[in-house]
Structure 1
């Protein structure tokens, strides 16, 4: 589904206060102090990586040592002088399964079976798992959605079961092995014993309190414990015990809903026809009129063991159901896991999960069920700059059978409804969350052009009435990271100071940007910000002068922001990870050349972009960009 703002979900009709009801950006601008959060000492090197920070001190020199790149509308990736950008792992390249190396066909004629062995479409969140220091490792990445106009030779002019299967195979997760090969740069290793594709049809399991719940049972799975597939995989996270967390985001778009949805279906954005992907025509599990519980089996955080290609991915229900954008892990001082999560939909919420048990030091096997037991919280932000985490526990406050919550499993399936009743703060599409080493947690809020038009949070103290450019919020927990109280501030209001509309000017100290989305804190403490302006809005209105989507580097201590990378036409810049030595950066370029009005025209696949191949008769492809300094130094210096 194309990220057309007119199609974005907006289903929260609760009377809860929004962040704009209680915000006063004039007094909540950048606080002085360093980035991040101390995440504990247990499994310190891995745990620190899970929170977005590795070993290495800032030192006394400037954190940002490169010259900003200018705004660009070119169909290429632009990086600072002295940097090298290399493209690998484009959609359709073989992932490296033994005996299966189907080449990409530029006319869109690859079969569904071939797509199951190839990189999926629309790369998103990812992580690099080092093997040989910083020279080789596994790169695990999400594939958020498919553009059927590009995926098939004739787009959707004809529609078949084979096309549905191919589209489902283009979703999910890829695990590939990569290594640095001298002057040839980084390459995908083929074949590889770790290579794997996880798709919308991969067998999975449920873990946690909702496993087996009546709301998760279907005709194909009467026990409610064996879901099939993952989709709309957007943001990601990693755990200190070495697993990968992938997040199911806009799942309701894939389902054909009833003409008159129930209150539960309506709260989750279910509608007749969904977003027009038409899977239900040949895969009846995506017809919610026939299988009303099937949508309840999506919207979860899925845990994957990247080093065991035969393992079963697990949907961790204790972390709640939402249109999850990311899952960022920190560690308490006594060694318990804390998972921060955003929900990318208008007026939805920010969550935190705290595990009941401590992380075991021996790795995956001993921590296999760690995320199945603990407490899920939702955030409330108050006008005095304080906030609190409210527990989503059955029997607490209004979360009772009388209010539609028979047990904890139902609370988790209906996380949104429970948060509505608890008075959580309605946010402007909370997306990625980054945690650093000394106390601050950052969250991107991409935008909400419905803010004000629906009567939400309109008052004189709120200049972001029609929040077209978004902002970055941050908070610091009072006490340890499992605390229930915090203080918060705006880190930056995105925008363009040249805008005539005052509320869209922002307060950026440095290079202008709009619609922050991806967020990652590297080992030196740099906060990397990636943007996702929709092609339908790019170059128009408040975004007129911002060019293509970009990746920027922020110094949390000074508030300075510099533009580091600009992507090709129509793309989203997303997903960031690096090698432990900080000398290689991996960034994903998603949906280059996306058509502003939706799916691509199969008659003109390269109308807007022909990146990265730039060949006649080709089609744009999502891919990973590997960035290094020509002198071999750390990225950003």
Structure 2
């Protein structure tokens, strides 16, 4: 079906249909019991918020220009003057800082290094050798990392490419002939997805550039061969025509955030993968319905006119006599964290199924400790979904650590209690409590699913969302990026927003749907042990407008000011000194204007706006060199022909930020 026949919402690659209809206690109800509420939106708004979802907690607005909070400057102090909000089609940073656009979409990085063509006529084969589209999560690996080094002048910059802009990608946008797509357009779109690995180096003048001809330069796309690893490997529900033994698949898609592992590899998250598949069957299996797979796909790749197998696979309807004769199970090979070794360009990416299958936003690791399990966290970026934790069965030893540590362990889901405590609920059939809940749920309706049990642990992980429903996890407001404070060990997660409020309910005090501004939650694991099964939580900050006050236990914690208003926190990262960087993907209406990045002191809750992106963009993905003197910030889906006004097409790009005096970013 052509896109003009679809629900227009489904064309939005960020469209996340609400597919959790269980009756677990919503987080906003827990929060109401947890926190005393007194919030006023001051100024022209002049009205009290109707619920806690519009509060702002933390992020002290500072009136000082030097950003320090005491005479003793610590590594987490914020030493720049906050920049104002902006509507300009340019990047704004504080006085004393400089920026440069780097590695825009279409930049040749490997193979024959085909040049980018501003008229949109690059072929699919050429796009497979160029930077992908819609830059997102990013990490810098020092070139000497494997030797124990921490170079800040040379390394591998690895980043995700979440989705595409068909209008910019092709000369005349996506085209159809008799409702079929030209095969090379489809090839190009698939190639614009995935991951780029780029060997970069800074010269003696401080300028960064690609190391052309480096064997490390690499593209992983939506068609790259990959292995299935972990408990779901070989499971019958992953059998396809391509892999009758259910051990392989092709490609990774809709990669949003990421996570560097303690052993120097890169995990790419598969988030809104459901929209790439089409199922025309009268009924769909729970593995698809619980994620929102529809009768038509977002880009119609299954309609490529060549009918090549690499495109037909996006039709997950029942066509053949058995699962080995068609691609009814192809969607079951997506929804995982994908491990890529940037230092081994010939290595095959691995889908790590023990971490669960859902709408992974990213993954964040707790500090690895010799002889102890590996622990990592991941959010399911959709409304009313959950936060997860994985604890490996095998211990970490630096000398031998590798991806195998992610193939065996326990996956937990979070329950936030109303007294400020929390529990990690194991999704493991060997756990007596979980097994009892599964047994009790059999034969009942769990949300929209008539639950008939789990065949085995592989089935539990394949249906992670359903397992979390049954376990009794707390539905959250779009859990996105996570970060672990390197100083305190506390874990932070952004809860971007929850648009349950309809457009018809919008009013002056609520210019967007319900909880359009979002918040950030944090917790401390019991005993500061990241393997613990209980924790204590609080709210670090609620985003909001100027004058938003939050009162906890009769004390005003913060009042947001012009220096730090923001909405829809998304990206989150602690730098190597312990400053917290917050990126936004929200409304570009007043008073917030263009999306931005702010710096926060986790100790004092001071927050200041550091960076504002160009028109129409999401500011997403941030990392620095180990010395924190070069920062890389990704700009996704910009408008207005940024970064080159002479180019007829906007291009996603990485922004390099440096301090003019060569100092530490943010200090």
**Of residues 104, 108, 129 in structure 2, which corresponds to 1:117?**
129
Q: SS at 2:623's partner residue?
A: strand
Q: Does the 8 A contact of 2:337 with 2:360 survive in 1?
A: yes
In the alignment, which residue of structure 2 is the partner of 1:468?
516
Shift in Å, 1:30: 5.8
The aligned residue for residue 266 of structure 1 is: 289
Distance 1:358 1:628, change over 3 A: same
In the other structure, the counterpart of 1:289 is 317
CA drift at 1:499: 8.4
Q: In 1, distance between residues paired with 2:31 and 2:536? A: 13
Query: What is the SS of the residue equivalent to 2:313?
Result: helix
Secondary structure of 2:17 counterpart: coil
- 1:258 deviates by 3.0
Mapping 1:554-573, distance limit 5 Å: 554-573=600-619
SS of the counterpart of 1:558? coil
Quote the Cα distance in structure 1 between the aligned partners of 2:578 and 2:270: 28
1:443 corresponds, among 478, 481, 493, to 493
2:302 aligned with 1:280: yes
Q: Does 1:413 align with 2:452?
A: no
Matched residue SS, 1:398? helix
Equivalent residue number for residue 355 of structure 1: 392
Higher Rg: 2
* Cα distance between partner residues in 2 of 1:507 and 1:280: 51
Worse overlay, 333-342 or 105-114: 333-342
When the two chains are superposed, the root-mean-square deviation of aligned CA atoms in Å is 2.6
Aligned counterparts of 2:559 and 2:473: Cα–Cα separation in 1: 27
Post-superposition Cα deviations, 1:291-331, rounded to whole Å, max 9, x if no partner, equal 22111110000111100010010000000001000110114
Structure 1 residues 259 and 368: CA distance shift in structure 2, 3 A:
closer
In the other structure, the counterpart of 2:164 is 146
Give the alignment partner of residue 535 of structure 2, picking from 486, 489, 492. Answer: 486
Give the aligned partner of residue 335 of structure 1. 372
The equivalent residue for 2:593 is 547
What per-residue deviation string (whole Å, max 9, x for no partner) do you get for residues 478-497 of structure 1?
02100000010110110113
Q: Counterparts in 2 of 1:416-435, with a 5 A limit?
A: 416-435=465-484
CA contact (8 A) 1:475 1:489 kept: yes
Partner of 1:599: none
Deviations 1:132-184 (A, max 9, x none): 61101000000001111111101013331111110000000000011111336
Which of 570, 579, 586 matches 1:526?
579
Number of the residue aligned with 1:191: 213
Equivalent residue of 1:182, what SS? coil
The answer on 1:95 being equivalent to 2:134 is no
Relative distance call for 1:121 and 1:341 in structure 2 (3 A) is: same
Determine if contact 1:320/1:412 at 8 Å carries over to the other structure: yes
Change (3 A) 1:444 1:304: same
TM-score, normalised by the number of residues in structure 2: 0.82
Give structure 2 stretches of 5+ with no counterpart: 1-8, 38-55, 61-71, 145-150, 305-310, 319-326, 443-451, 506-511, 552-557
CA distance, structure 2, for counterparts of residue 440 and residue 105 of structure 1: 46
Q: 1:208 aligns with which of 215, 230, 234?
A: 230
- Change in CA separation of 1:3 and 1:515 when aligned onto 2, cut-off 3 Å: farther
* Ranges of 4+ aligned residues in structure 1 off by more than 6 Å: 452-455
SS at match of 1:619: coil
Deviations 1:333-359, CA, capped at 9 Å, x for gaps: 543210100011111100000011112
Provide the residue aligned with 1:516 in structure 2.
Answer: 569
- Taking the aligned partners of 1:62 and 1:488, their CA distance within structure 2 comes to 22
| Alignment of structure 1 residues 56-71 onto 2, 5 Å | 60=74, 63-71=77-85
- Does the CA-based 8 Å contact 1:332-1:481 persist in structure 2? no
SS in 2 for 1:240: coil
Q: 1:626 to 1:303 in 2, by over 3 A?
A: same
Give yes or no for the alignment of 1:404 onto 2:426. Answer: no
2:91 counterpart of 1:77: yes
- Which moved further from structure 2: 278-287 or 231-240? 278-287
Shift in Å, 1:562: 0.5
What SS is found at the alignment partner of 1:245?
Answer: strand
Q: Is the 8 A contact 1:399 1:411 kept in 2?
A: no
State the distance in 2 between where 1:61 and 1:526 align: 8
Where does structure 1 lack aligned partners over 5 or more consecutive residues?
34-57, 456-463, 594-608
CA contact 2:59–2:606 (8 Å) conserved in 1: no
Tell me the equivalent position of 2:354: 318
Moved more, 109-118 or 15-24: 15-24
Partner of 1:371: 406
Distance 2:526 2:57 in 1: 19
CA separation of 1:508 and 1:260: change in aligned 2, threshold 3 A: farther
**1:446-461 to 2 correspondences below 5 Å:** 446-450=496-500
Aligned length, in residue pairs: 573
Q: Residue 163 of structure 1 aligns to a residue in which SS?
A: helix
Q: TM-score, normalised by structure 1?
A: 0.86
Distance 1:577 1:60 in 2: 20
Q: Is the 8 A contact 2:271 2:381 kept in 1?
A: yes
* Correspondence list, 1:572-591, <5 A: 572-591=618-637
Q: Secondary structure at the match of 1:286?
A: coil
- For the Cα contact (< 8 Å) 2:59–2:560, is it kept in 1? no
- The alpha-carbon distance between structure 1 residues 30 and 74, as it changes in their structure 2 partners (threshold 3 A), is closer
Q: Using the alignment, how far apart are the partners of 2:193 and 2:11 within structure 1?
A: 16
